[in-house]
Amino acid sequence: MSLSTTIKLPNGKEYEQPLGLFIGGEYITPEVDSKITVINPSNEEVITEVYAGDKADIDKAVVAARKAFESPEWRGIAASARGDYLYKIAQIIDRDRELIASIDSIDNGKPLPECVEGDLEEAYNVFKYYAGFADKITGKTIETSPEKLAYTVQEPLGVCGQIIPWNYPFMMLAWKVAPALCCGNTVILKPSEVTPLSALYFGKICQEAGLPAGVVNVVNGYGKTAGAALSEHTGVDKIAFTGSTASGKLIMKAAANNLKNVTLECGGKNPLIIFDDAELDQAVKWARIGIFDNKGEVCTSTSRIYVQEAIYDKFLEEFVAHIKDVTVVADPFGENTTQGPQVSKMQYEKVLSYIESGKAEGAKLAYGGAKASEKGYFLNPTVFSDVQEDMKINKEEIFGPVVAVSKFSTVEEVVQKANDTSYGLAAALFSQNVTQCVTVASKLQAGMVWINSNNDSHFGIPFGGYKSSGIGRELGPYALDAYTQTKAVHINVGLRV
Amino acid sequence: MTKLQQQITLPNGLVYTQPLGLFINNEFVAAKSGKTFDVINPATEELLASVQEAGVEDIDAAVDAAEAAFNDGVWAKQEPLERGILLNKLADAIEAEADLFSAIESSDNGKALWSAQGDVALAIKYFRSTAGWADKIRGSIVDSGETHLNLIKREPLGVVGQIIPWNFPLLMLSWKLGPALATGNTVVLKSAESTPLSALYLGTLIKKVGFPPGVVNIVSGFGRPAGDAITKHQRIKKVAFTGSTAVGRQVLKNAAESNLKKVTLELGGKSPNIVFADADVADAVKHIIVGIYYNAGEVCCAGSRVYVQDTVYDKVLAEFKVAAEKVKVGDPFEEGVFQGAQTSEKQLNSILNYIKVGKEEGARVITGGERFGTKGYFIKPTIFGDVTEEMKIVKEEIFGPVVSITKFSTVDEAVKLANNSNYGLAAGVHTADLNRAIDVSGRIKAGTIWVNTYNDFHHMVPFGGYGESGVGRELGAEALENYTQVKAVRVGLKKVFK
């Protein structure tokens, strides 16, 4: 198989898709010939095959990344020069955004306009944001006594392994790669085997930006092989992972061998709480966004909705009507599509089985509950109501367009229910009462709380979870903590022994 | 007919259209009074152009535009991210015309072309760095218990007035505009009357890259009346001034008497450059040369008092004299020239007067001590020896290529001499001993201490003075504090939970 192929996209565009592993600034074949088949979830057809890497390729990537980390071309340049590279990458992304969005749309199934205006806009902004941070990573001087001049320096970690998920392929790449490079690290990125295409394309962007060889390496492969090899490699200084909590636990265990720095963004079963003084019309709209955007394949999806009893029936009625009104489940490259297919057969079948479990456990099916087509992994948005707390659909992360709605009476009750989960990623609440909003936000065990909006993230604001939803924070200045380590320097000025 | 632009051919052959008007609300307009003033090339004493002179009414018009932009316009409503985008675009636009900007700067200010190129590169870099701040302005939350939510926010000030000097026209403009715009303010900026050209040319780029009208207003004019109109204006919320301590005092007075606007000042200095016996002599001499002859000594932090430890005094002085006499003075556009012209006839005469006074007070001219050539405002690199601390040339800021050199014996004496000034802008310490470097830098009262280097800036390292050298800091994260104000929002929370 060649190292690249021409792909024709549904919108007529053609482009050269790299297929190899991007190591040391070049595309190469893996040590052992192995391939991954990339499926288009809209029609179940093969888009292409790409090469898959394993332990031996990870080893190679680590060598390249370590060499680059210590090279004068990377280690020896001014911080603002790193910023210049990131700024250049941002400009290339801006120029190519339609193309990159098309790649993610065909690979992941998300509607194209949403991908351009959402995923790509965010990726561009994130690279630009961290371009502007590179020269602003400062340490501190610390006053202790006249006999000591103490200061701290924030140094890079070194070679960082980064394993990204399939739900926002290129955007997740930006969230990982940009801050890592900003802080002076080098990276080995393992994209998801389900959606490898845009990450492989990123290698070309790095080449065009003139990024020194080995600073960014992209090794495609499976979690169990390439991912595991990366997590347990003793030549890797840090592993950053976004994906399921189950995989996160495995990665943390693997990383323990050399105590490498670990940050994890895992799952969530995020509550949306609607109080009876909420602006109902807005709550309904944000509720739809919170679970059906990106076909529900979002770690911060608010997949449990708690509605205060006085407005419960009214909410359900308006919620279902709104969903019916605006939803178009169709081809991602179609004109009016609001919801594309689930990303893969495995996800599709998993969601269907949760729908069956909801029915079996006695939840009321208020809307949807079935597949939306014969071909392609399309599902109808599904609303279960009168859900009991201990039902599977209320406790487990489904990661699809399925939401569980139930009622509550008091604020104490709903906070207790909201927190009754081992997850703690996000929460949203609707109320017009300032005190209620702020106080409830303070009581929710979640890394992010949205008041009167939902899934309304911003690249300057920290993103991450409490409890089993993860370790550490991404975005904003907080990502800098994840990609640097502190060295304290003590200069003795005259303390003689 | 009012001439609002002119084609200029620069000494290196570059031809361009120089705007002459006042840049207000994204347009170049004539001064309401119709007054103009001449801009002279200090290397040739020839007329470069006549630009419009801002009066009180023009400042009012500029403030009107800036206020509208701040209160109602696109600027106020857009995301901070957009401010960063515009600043980056501005940097890109300057870079695209870097050669032209450098040549304008050399012609207007008199500095050697290599030096102007350095200024332009630094200005571009600084605009980029401040672009990166725009979407990173943060405040904090203070936990005072369940009864309250305490938000501590940083908000922009509004219309800010900025008055820049003539020694680094474009670079000083970037130090002012960058942080003010990144934090969401709108600006009325007055360039120095000796050097208005690069600032006006920048106006064309401000409009070109898409800053909304009124966000940046650039006027040419004098301290009186334009500068005064700014510092006294009731609707300007803050003034940032770089210039002499004497004028700085007036700025503070005007601010106090008008509306108590916030004030930051970057003023003069008489910075000591100290060489200890264990210093690397060759290196120290290099830094002493840069310290006083770079930019023809027209640098607020120039190392204009050199103190050398007695055991190495003769050696240092000998090498310093040789190096000073090797400094090439001449046409800014000529290859190999290090030191160009003093910026104006006024400055030339002021420096020559100090040299005269120095001689009269009994100091010895070791080298230089006179004008260079008969055309253009050039002065020979000058060293005065046999000085006493009471001499005017040792106490007062000369702002030219004139330095005094004295010996000292102990560290305590050096520190005492260094601190013997109402100024406190910078100091140089040359020594191989780490402990001495730390000790002495701790004891000298100055805003920047250079150890084994001099006039050595980085945009992330704050710059400003102790004592009468100024108020506040520019560059670094500290610059953002100059252009924001703290608002505390303390929300009382009724008990919600049982």
Same domain, A221 and A249: yes
Same domain, A74 and A90: yes
Which of B85, B129, B130, B135 is the best substitution to test chain A (most A C-beta atoms within 10 A)? B135
A497 lies within 8 A of chain B by CB: no
Span A405-456, pLDDT tens digits: 999 999 999 999 999 999 999 999 999 998 999 999 999 999 999 999 999 9
Give the residue from chain A lying closest to B443, CA to CA.
Answer: A146
Using an 8 Å CB-CB cutoff, list chain A residues near B88: 87
pLDDT value of residue B200: 98
Average pLDDT, whole number, for chain B? 96
Average pLDDT, whole number, for chain A? 96
Measured between CB atoms, which of B129, B438, B460 is closest to A149?
B438
pLDDT for residue B495 is more than 90:
no
B438 vs A442: CB contact, 8 Å cut-off?
no
Q: At what angle do helices A121-131 and A169-182 cross, to 10 degrees?
A: 0
A395 lies within 8 A of chain B by CB: no
| Contact in structure between B425 and B470 (CB atoms under 8 Å) | yes
Same domain, A410 and A475: no
Same domain, A37 and A50: yes
Give the residue from chain B lying closest to A441, CA to CA.
Answer: B149
CA neighbor of A108 nearest in space, from A445, A333, A407, A385: A333
Using an 8 Å CB-CB cutoff, list chain A residues near B138: 477
- Rounded to whole angstroms, how far apart are CA atoms A38 and A220? 12
Would you say residue A322 lies in a domain? Answer: yes
pLDDT value of residue A146: 85
pLDDT value of residue B429: 98
Domain range for A160 is 4-266+471-486
Angle at CA of residue B242, ends B238 and B248, nearest 5°:
75
A361 lies within 8 A of chain B by CB: no
Same domain, A262 and A322: no
Would you say residue A491 lies in a domain? Answer: no
pLDDT for residue A248 is more than 80:
yes
**ipTM tops the 0.85 cut:** no
Angle at CA of residue B87, ends B83 and B90, nearest 5°:
140
A127 lies within 8 A of chain B by CB: no
The beta strand positions in B267-419, using DSSP E, are: 271-275, 303-309, 364-367, 382-385, 402-408
Would you say residue A497 lies in a domain? Answer: no
Check the CA dihedral B162-B166-B168-B170 and report its sign. positive
Span A307-355, pLDDT tens digits: 999 999 999 999 999 999 999 999 999 989 999 999 999 999 999 999 9
Find the mean pLDDT for residues B112-141.
96
A77 lies within 8 A of chain B by CB: no
> Pick the residue with more confidence: A180 or A335?
A180
Would you say residue A464 lies in a domain? Answer: no
A423 to chain B, closest Cα gap in Å: 23
pLDDT for residue B2 is more than 90:
no
Same domain, A321 and A227: no
Find the mean pLDDT for residues A210-223.
98
Find the mean pLDDT for residues A264-289.
97
* CATH number of the structural domain spanning residue A126: 3.40.605.10
pLDDT for residue B1 is more than 70:
no
A434 vs B129: CB contact, 8 Å cut-off?
no
- Per-residue pLDDT band at A496 (split at 50, 70, 90): confident
Measured between CB atoms, which of B132, B434, B493 is closest to A439?
B493
A132 vs B491: CB contact, 8 Å cut-off?
no
Using an 8 Å CB-CB cutoff, list chain B residues near A494: 435
pLDDT value of residue A311: 98
User: So what's the architecture of B272-459 in CATH?
Assistant: 3-Layer(aba) Sandwich (3.40)
pLDDT value of residue A259: 92
B138 vs A131: CB contact, 8 Å cut-off?
no
Kindly list the distances between the CA atom of residue B50 and the CA atoms of A68, B4, B198, B199, B202, in Å, as whole numbers in the listed order.
55, 9, 14, 14, 17
Using an 8 Å CB-CB cutoff, list chain B residues near A135: 129, 132, 459-460
Q: Encoding tokens for residue A463?
A: 């993103």
| Contact in structure between B45 and B344 (CB atoms under 8 Å) | no
Find the mean pLDDT for residues B245-266.
95
Span B45-54, pLDDT tens digits: 999 999 999 9
Give the residue numbers in B contacting A (CB under 8 Å), as ranges: 81, 84-85, 88, 125, 128-129, 131-136, 138, 146, 149, 434-435, 438-439, 459-460, 477, 491, 493-494, 496-498
Annotated active-site residue in A114, A265, A297, A474 = A265
Same domain, A282 and A414: yes
Domain boundaries, chain B: 5-267+473-485, 272-459
Say whether B27 is catalytic: no
B459 to chain A, closest Cα gap in Å: 9
Measured between CB atoms, which of B132, B138, B493 is closest to A132?
B132
Measured between CB atoms, which of B438, B477, B493 is closest to A491?
B438
Give me the number of domains chain A comprises: 2
pLDDT value of residue A12: 87
Query: How many percent of chain B have pLDDT more than 70?
Result: 100
A443 vs B497: CB contact, 8 Å cut-off?
yes
B459 vs A133: CB contact, 8 Å cut-off?
no
- Rounded to whole angstroms, how far apart are CA atoms A186 and A96? 24
pTM for the structure as a whole: 0.90
Span B215-254, pLDDT tens digits: 999 999 999 999 999 999 999 999 999 999 999 999 999 9
Distance spanning both ends of chain B, measured CA to CA:
79
Q: Fold for domain B5-267+473-485?
A: Aldehyde Dehydrogenase; Chain A, domain 1 (3.40.605)
DSSP bridge partners of A265: A242, A470
Using an 8 Å CB-CB cutoff, list chain B residues near A134: 132
Span B332-368, pLDDT tens digits: 999 999 999 999 999 999 999 999 999 999 999 999 9
3-class DSSP state for residue B391? Answer: coil
Would you say residue A190 lies in a domain? Answer: yes
CB atoms within 10 A of CB A487: 11
Which uninterrupted H or E stretch holds B254?
helix B245-257
